[in-house]
């Protein structure tokens, strides 16, 4: 694909995106409008993340793409291939080795470092969207720091269900100012949002970029008497025995037997290579 | 034992190969040529150019072939290609008053300079399946007339003299560019028109139809509908003057809308405007109706809360490439979000059961 520029986008477009990224880093959690381009994959399939990655990647980078925590889900494969073809960068499945990680719906289990960038694909960047459908209104609410509606929603959850009934895309407040949608990661991942790496969020269809710089305070919204709780399936991983990782539930047979495995496939692999074993591996070798 | 599903890559490659085979269809049937599609499915090509925002019949044709006739998929191919093209500059505004019209009709005047020219229209065909076509019927040549050499003036020009139709303020300000700047609300008329002309034909049609059925009715007459070719001129800085860089086919519709006046405007006719690549009649009329509905604020009309009056609603949902992408993304894996919902629902059910059970025990 030599007829396209490095990482597909032309340099002017990349410059425009980089400006938006820098503005986003300067105002953490603020949604910066940007002139999102049509990409050769559909809107809603990671075009925001792809544009941010394209503007971030250099030829020396090592790139990793995950979807639902896994490197081999179809859309992750497709995006990785896109950058292999258009940027010729090295790719990896190892979190450790990657310098830029594009993700959909997960934050890797391994702690990210200062020399890494994580790029999130964002479907609906506006945390207030489902409370107020109008962009004109929600922008006003952000500028006035008027987040009462969000607290009322969380309160109503508690009064109706006894708990905050948001399990993913759990809203956070960044640096005591902007309420931000962390993209549809499970709330299990929310505590990791305070990290050493640069976090960039790209929403292509909605034309927004936002960012969280390293070591920035990120607080999941809650109440003193109903504190935020990062939850996951109450099991260890059946393959590697990890008790600290987010799990996928897999149906194994017609009888409805289940197994629980790490959603982060690289984390699971590295643990198994280090000799950790889970329930099913034990049963199999026994 | 469960083995983690690997091999996404091979699955994708195999799917693509199968898709290519399906696209080709039975190999004992001749393959469609680009020229056949371009010449015989011209209106499909026009739609792809209009909504793809790229005037190139050959590329639009290729996209239709590649997409197996799925026009939204074809439009997507064109849009994705279009973004890779460098932007050399902007043409001068096209002069539709100088259009070489193939078709030009007015519903407001029985006759006017330039006349009523039906052109190649389906309008008065009886919609009866022509079984002769199934047997590849060649058609006799149509009669030809001497084309007009002088320009065909716009119908609304004749109303302007009396001051009975609202004048559109002329401006030399460069309009914004929807494809270069993020859409922000409130928007303005040039951006609204850009959005509508590339908007989904079905969506714009539905919005326009809703105004006719009373959701912000705006009493539209087709003042004029014209289809034909116009020259495209561009200023070349090195030359210091404009040169003709080509010719494009356009459909232009101007509606004349009854208007009783408002607090700020005297009673007079107002206009809606539609301009679309190629022969795209339905779309341009629909566009004009929606354009007029969106002008309520500028004309001091009441906001009736109708969907077609709501700029943010209309412009945010008119683009079929955005819509189809987001709609179809829900078939991507969502294991993680679903898992977190599963945990939550289980937890809430447990808690609800605990709340209910002791009560029953006490009864």
Q: Tell me which residue range forms the domain holding B102.
A: 96-119+150-168+180-322
B336 contacts chain A (CB < 8 A): yes
B356 contacts chain A (CB < 8 A): no
Q: How far apart are CA B77 and CA A42, in angstroms?
A: 10
Predicted pLDDT at B5: 47
B321 contacts chain A (CB < 8 A): yes
CA distance A259 to chain B (A): 8
In a domain, B44, yes or no: yes
B70, B162: one domain: no
Confidence of residue A179 (pLDDT cuts 50, 70, 90): very high
B43, B111: one domain: no
B34, B115: one domain: no
Predicted pLDDT at B3: 41
Summarize pLDDT for A217-271 with one digit per residue, the tens: 999 999 999 999 998 888 999 999 999 999 999 998 888 889 999 999 999 999 9
Predicted pLDDT at B7: 62
In a domain, B2, yes or no: no
Summarize pLDDT for B60-114 with one digit per residue, the tens: 999 999 999 999 999 999 999 998 888 888 999 999 999 999 999 999 988 888 8
Q: How far apart are CA B207 and CA B289, in angstroms?
A: 9
In a domain, B30, yes or no: yes
CB of B87 within 8 A of CB of B54? Answer: no
B185 contacts chain A (CB < 8 A): yes
B157, B276: one domain: yes
In a domain, B345, yes or no: no
Q: Which of residues 216-275 of B touch A (CB under 8 A)?
A: none
Residues in B closer than 8 angstroms to A36, CB to CB, are: 182
pLDDT value at B2 more than 70: no
In a domain, B362, yes or no: no
Summarize pLDDT for B110-140 with one digit per residue, the tens: 888 889 999 999 999 999 998 888 887 788 8
Question: Is A241 considered catalytic here?
Answer: no
B59, B193: one domain: no
Structure tokens that stand for A203 in this block = 């929403």
Question: Is A49 considered catalytic here?
Answer: no
A8 contacts chain B (CB < 8 A): yes
pTM listed for this prediction: 0.90
pLDDT value at A1 more than 80: no
Summarize pLDDT for B211-263 with one digit per residue, the tens: 999 999 988 999 999 999 999 999 998 999 999 999 999 999 999 998 877 77
pLDDT value at B4 more than 50: no
CA distance B227 to chain A (A): 29
Predicted pLDDT at B359: 60
HEC string of chain B equals CCCCCCCHHHHHHHHHHHHHHHHHCCCCCCCCCHHHHHHHCHHHHHHHHHHHCCCCHHHHHHHHHHCCCCHHHHHHHHHHHHCCCCCCCCCCCCCHHHCEEEEEECCCCCCCCCCCECCCCCCCCCCCCCHHHHCCCCCCCCCCCCCCCCCCCCHHHHHHCCCCECCCCCCCCCCCCCCCCCCCCCCCHHHHHHHHHHCCHHHHHHHHHHHHCCCCCCCEEEEEEEEEEEEEEEEECCCCEEEEEEEEEEEEEEEEECCCCCCCCCCCEEEEEEEEECCCHHHHHHHHHHHHHHCCCCCCCCCCCCHHHCHHHHHHHCCHHHHHHHHHHHHCCCHHHHHHHHHHHHHHHHHHHHHHHHHHHHC
| Reported ipTM | 0.86
Q: How far apart are CA A286 and CA A274, in angstroms?
A: 19
In a domain, B349, yes or no: no
Distances (CA, A) of B218 to A23, B199, B256: 43, 21, 10
B242, B158: one domain: yes
CA distance B249 to chain A (A): 25
Total domain count, chain B? 2
Name the residue among A17, A201, A219, A34 with its Cα closest to residue A118: A201
B67, B192: one domain: no
In a domain, B358, yes or no: no
B302, B218: one domain: yes
Distances (CA, A) of B46 to A140, B78, B230, B255, B312: 40, 12, 15, 22, 27
* Averaged pLDDT score across all residues of chain B: 91
In a domain, B140, yes or no: no
B26, B162: one domain: no
B253, B303: one domain: yes
B197, B102: one domain: yes
Residues in B closer than 8 angstroms to A76, CB to CB, are: 8
Closest chain A residue to B181, measured at CA: A35
B275, B157: one domain: yes
């Amino acid at each position: 694909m030599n007829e396209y520029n490095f990482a597909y986008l032309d340099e002017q477009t990349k410059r425009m995106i980089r400006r938006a990224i820098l503005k986003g880093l300067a105002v953490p959690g603020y949604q910066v409008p940007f002139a999102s381009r049509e990409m050769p994959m559909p809107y809603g399939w990671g075009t925001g993340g792809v544009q941010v990655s394209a503007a971030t990647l250099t030829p020396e980078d090592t790139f990793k793409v995950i979807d639902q925590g896994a490197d081999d889900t179809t859309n992750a494969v497709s995006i990785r291939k896109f950058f292999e073809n258009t940027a010729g960068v090295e790719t990896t499945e190892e979190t450790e080795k990657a310098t830029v990680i594009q993700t959909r719906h997960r934050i890797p289990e391994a702690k990210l470092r200062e020399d890494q960038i994580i790029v999130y694909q964002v479907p609906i960047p506006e945390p207030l969207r489902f409370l107020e459908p109008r962009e004109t209104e929600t922008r006003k609410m952000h500028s006035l720091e008027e987040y009462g509606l969000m607290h009322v929603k969380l309160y109503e959850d508690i009064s109706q269900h006894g708990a905050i009934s948001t399990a993913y895309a759990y809203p956070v407040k960044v640096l005591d100012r902007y309420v931000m949608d962390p993209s549809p990661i499970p709330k299990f991942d929310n505590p990791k949002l305070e990290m050493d790496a640069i976090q960039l969020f790209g929403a292509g269809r909605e034309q927004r970029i936002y960012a969280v710089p390293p070591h920035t305070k990120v607080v999941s919204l809650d109440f003193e008497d109903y504190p935020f709780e990062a939850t996951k399936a109450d099991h260890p991983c059946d393959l590697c025995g990890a008790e600290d990782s987010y799990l996928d539930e897999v149906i194994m047979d017609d009888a409805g037997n289940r197994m629980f495995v790490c959603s982060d496939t690289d984390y699971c692999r590295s643990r198994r290579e280090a000799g950790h074993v889970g329930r099913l591996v034990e049963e199999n070798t026994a | 034992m469960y083995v983690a599903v690997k091999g996404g890559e091979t699955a994708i490659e195999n799917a693509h190969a199968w898709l290519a085979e399906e696209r080709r269809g039975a190999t004992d049937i001749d393959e469609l040529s680009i020229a056949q599609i371009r010449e015989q499915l011209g209106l499909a090509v026009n739609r792809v150019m209009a909504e793809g925002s790229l005037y190139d019949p050959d590329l639009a044709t290729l996209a239709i072939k590649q997409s197996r006739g799925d026009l939204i998929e074809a439009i997507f191919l064109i849009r994705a290609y279009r973004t890779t093209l460098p932007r050399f500059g902007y043409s001068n505004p096209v002069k539709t008053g100088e259009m070489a019209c193939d078709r030009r009709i007015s519903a407001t005047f029985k006759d006017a300079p330039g006349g009523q020219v039906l052109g190649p229209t389906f309008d008065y065909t009886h919609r009866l399946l022509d079984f002769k076509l199934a047997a590849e019927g060649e058609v006799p040549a149509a009669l030809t007339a001497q084309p007009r050499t002088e320009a065909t003036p716009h119908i609304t020009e004749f109303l302007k003299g009396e001051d009975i139709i609202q004048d559109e303020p002329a401006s030399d300000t460069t309009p914004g560019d929807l494809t270069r700047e993020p859409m922000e609300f409130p928007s303005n008329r040039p951006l609204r028109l850009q959005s509508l002309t590339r908007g989904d034909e079905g969506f714009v049609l539905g919005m326009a139809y809703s105004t006719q059925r009373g959701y912000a009715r705006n009493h539209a007459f087709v003042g004029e509908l014209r289809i034909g070719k116009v020259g495209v001129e561009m200023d070349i800085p090195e030359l210091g003057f404009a040169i003709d860089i080509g010719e494009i086919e356009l459909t232009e519709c101007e509606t004349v809308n009854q208007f009783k006046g408002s607090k700020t405007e005297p009673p007079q006719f107002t206009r809606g405007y539609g301009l679309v690549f190629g022969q795209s009649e339905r779309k341009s009329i629909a566009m004009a109706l929606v354009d007029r509905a969106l002008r309520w604020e500028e004309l001091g009309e009441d906001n009736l809360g109708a969907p077609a009056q709501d700029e943010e609603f209309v412009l945010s949902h008119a683009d079929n490439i955005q819509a189809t992408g987001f709609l179809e993304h829900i078939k991507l894996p969502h294991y993680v979000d679903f898992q977190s919902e599963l945990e939550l629902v289980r937890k809430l059910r447990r808690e609800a059961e605990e709340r209910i059970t002791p009560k029953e025990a006490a009864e």
